[in-house]
Chain A
Amino acid sequence: MSAAAPPATPAAVTAPLDHPAARALTGRHRFRWWEALPWLLAIGFYFTFPQYLGFGAELLTTILFALSLDLALGYAGIITLGHAAFFGTGAYAVGMLAYYNLWTEPITSVLLAALAAAVIGFASGLVLLRTKGLTLLMLTICIMALLQEGANMARAYTGGFDGLPGLSIAPVFGRFEFNPLYANTQYLYALGVLLVCFLFVRTLVYSPFGQSLTGIRENLLRMHAVGSPVRLRLVICYTISAAIAGIAGGLWAQTNAYVNLSAFDLDRAATVLIILILGGYGRLYGAFIGAVAYLALEHFLARVYPTAWQLGLGLLLVLIALFARNGILGLGDTLWRRLAPRRVAS
């Protein structure tokens, strides 16, 4: 009855798997054609706007950071406002290694940043994830504030308030130099790192592990009652999410060639949360849409109302919270369902 069915030939498919509900599940992890769009747009951007590649690299880094938050918040439902703790850890890991000339090879540096952030994520997760709701939210902010203050006080190593300027990063693959004036390398490098991380996160969320994270988000108590080791799963998820946020931080340090305390800012953690809510959480591409929308909005509104542009952002967030809980992507989803001819219930 439960003999592992080979996943391939249509002839071996039994009747239950032909049901639309079953087919929705068996086909969910397959790539759709539109999933190529963001990457094609990113490559198009490279050729069309060579003068904005610095901004582009910043955008890609922000997307990666938002993606890491989506894994923890969107999929596992871990309410956090302190994700910059891991961004900052990654940034300072790369920054200190480069500043003191200990290690400047970019890809391995970023992996070390991931490791450092994962250690912090695991250690804090073991304690934090015993709580939930507002307590959890406050504790995530606390960890971030502690790390920021730690970086401020360890002036001898971190440069304190001034940070570590003028980082020299070795060329990517030993060939492609980071040029502060022409950000071509930074942009393509950030794009490559984002792609690898995205494929990893995508694989994860469509795996049985990802499915169980969704279960935890939807009903924690029920997950206990189906025999799931809930806290273990949450700690693993939080650690992976922290590692990816660390990679984003490392990327930020490398592409900007400096680190400072702003890496740990509450402002940064709040912005990435806003981005995720704006784009739509728990759906992978919300990070992309949200980051583009936020930065475009910031650019546009700041030009029209230089002094009060955040008022416009605030109003938009109110509208999203009232009418589009699932963000821009959720809104698109609803419209699509309204417009598409309704499928007759089988």
Chain B
Amino acid sequence: MAAPGPKARRIVSEFRLETRGLSRNFGALKAVQQIDFKLGAGARHALIGPNGAGKTTFINLLTGVLSPTQGSVWLAGRDITAKAQAERVKLGIARTFQINRLFRGLSVLENVCIAVTERVGAAGSMIYPAGRRTDIIAESMQLLQTLKLGDVARRRVSELPYGRQRLVELAITIGLKPEVLLLDEPAAGVPSAESHIILDAIEGLPQTIAVLIIEHDMDVVFRFAKRVTVMVSGAIFAEGTPREIEANPEVRAVYLGQSFDQKAGHG
């Protein structure tokens, strides 16, 4: 089936996720332009940039919420540009949203159960009661306990404080057992007193998962990331280790600026 030759576009790659010349225009606005991006297995990669740099658009292209104007997205050496969002999830790309997208009227445990049920492919079953799938319920409950959400598992999501809700957002995606995890500002809107809960949870993720995180808080970026990509006006502006990015005078000029000096001073 895999006949060798110029047509066999499958390229063995050490990269979990890769984009080639990825672009997306909204009318005349070039939201994302010609991005070549690679995410290795087990990566801890941060994506930073000023507001409107196209970071979330980029995530939406990776997850299939948007389709690109040009270019392609590859997962483990396979072209997934034409795959819909739900199919990409099945292939192992999961994400959290900048603004919570939760099943607000359901209990915390149900939120995770719905995701796990989809992952194991049981969600189309119509006869056997969901309550008898104790394997799914136990796995979801264990996940909540490791994220220290066990005490609120029975509560409705809408009754939880925002920081806890962000953690449920994370629990749902971890329940999908992704190979690539895209976190869109996971600590956004969380009071700083609570943000360490989320950071601890992210640091506790299995090392095999490749993680890409969009984050504004430089403390988080430098604590968490091994590589940093800076996006400006829809294009990659710089890429390197946190130290290199920190030392890069151009990055400091366009993005990090004053507040960065202050924050770096604390760290």
Which A residues have a C-beta under 8 Å from some C-beta of B?
Answer: 1-5, 7, 13-14, 16-17, 19-22, 24-30, 203-204, 206-212, 214-215, 218-219, 221-230, 233, 345-346
Known contacts A221-B101, A227-B119; decide if A210 and B135 are in contact (CB<8 Å): no
Chain B residues whose CB sits within 8 angstroms of the CB of A207 once the complex forms: 125-130
| Additional A-B contact list (5), CB under 8 Å, known A26-B131, A208-B130, A215-B114 | A1-B139, A208-B133, A224-B86, A225-B97, A226-B115
CB distance B90 to A4 under 8 Å?
Answer: no
In the complex, B254 has a CB within 8 A of chain A: no
A-B contact pairs, 26 of them (CB 8 A): A5-B135, A19-B150, A22-B153, A25-B107, A25-B109, A25-B137, A204-B126, A206-B131, A208-B117, A208-B124, A210-B126, A210-B130, A211-B113, A211-B117, A212-B117, A218-B106, A219-B101, A219-B103, A221-B101, A225-B94, A226-B94, A226-B172, A227-B86, A227-B90, A233-B124, A345-B151
CA A141 – CA B129 in complex, angstroms? 34
Total interface residues on B, using CB and 8 Å?
53
Which B residues have a C-beta under 8 Å from some C-beta of A?
Answer: 63, 65, 85-87, 89-90, 94-95, 97, 101-110, 113-115, 117-120, 122-135, 137-139, 141-142, 145, 150-151, 153-154, 172, 176
CB distance A5 to B106 under 8 Å?
Answer: no
Chain A residues whose CB sits within 8 angstroms of the CB of B89 once the complex forms: 225-227
CB distance A209 to B86 under 8 Å?
Answer: no
Q: Which of A1, A211, A345 has a CB less than 8 Å from the CB of B114? A: A211
CA A228 – CA B87 in complex, angstroms? 8
Q: Which of A20, A26, A219 has a CB less than 8 Å from the CB of B154? A: A20
Known contacts A5-B134, A21-B109, A225-B95; decide if A214 and B103 are in contact (CB<8 Å): yes
Chain A residues whose CB sits within 8 angstroms of the CB of B117 once the complex forms: 208, 211-212
Chain A residues whose CB sits within 8 angstroms of the CB of B145 once the complex forms: 16
CB distance B118 to A228 under 8 Å?
Answer: yes
CB distance A19 to B104 under 8 Å?
Answer: no
Q: Which of B65, B85, B129 has a CB less than 8 Å from the CB of A206? A: B129
CB distance A26 to B63 under 8 Å?
Answer: no
Known contacts A21-B154, A25-B137, A227-B90; decide if A222 and B103 are in contact (CB<8 Å): yes
